[in-house]
Amino acid sequence: MADTILTENEIDAALRGLSGWTRMGTRTLRKQFALGGFKAALAFVNTVGELAERADHHPNILIEYSTVTVMLSTHDTNGVTARDVRLARQIEAASQ
């Protein structure tokens, strides 16, 4: 069974509990993480990768020296679903 795309109101409600995350339309959740250098950025990406593997849900990740941008979208539905929100919460917790 395919995930259901969240409505704009549902996305906005989810974002209220996700500090620094924004939405790009109804298709993507996005956050930039400022880290302590390139090595810290790589370590964080590895953590995100482990979380993503466990969830079988894989984000787009951009590393720019000490800044990591994570973009979540459910590719099968071409939009934001509850899977994206769950993974964003896990990534957020891991970044603390």
The pLDDT assigned to 51 comes to 98
* Count of domains for the chain: 1
pLDDT of residue 89: 97
Is residue 49 assigned to a domain?
yes
Q: Per the domain annotation, does 1 fall within a domain?
A: no
Kindly state whether residue 43 falls inside one of the protein's structural domains.
Answer: yes
Nearest to 51 by CA among 96, 94, 2: 94
Please give the model's pTM, rounded to 2 decimal places.
0.94
End-to-end CA distance of the chain: 33
Domain that holds residue 55: 8-95
CATH number for the domain that contains residue 19: 3.30.1360.20
pLDDT digits (tens, 9 = 90+) for 8-17: 999 999 999 9
SS3 15: helix
For 16-64, how does the pLDDT look when each residue is reduced to its tens digit (9 = 90+)? 999 999 999 879 999 999 999 999 999 999 999 999 999 999 999 999 9
Whether 95 and 33 have beta carbons less than 8 Å apart is answered as yes
Q: Which two tokens stand for residue 6?
A: 């969240």
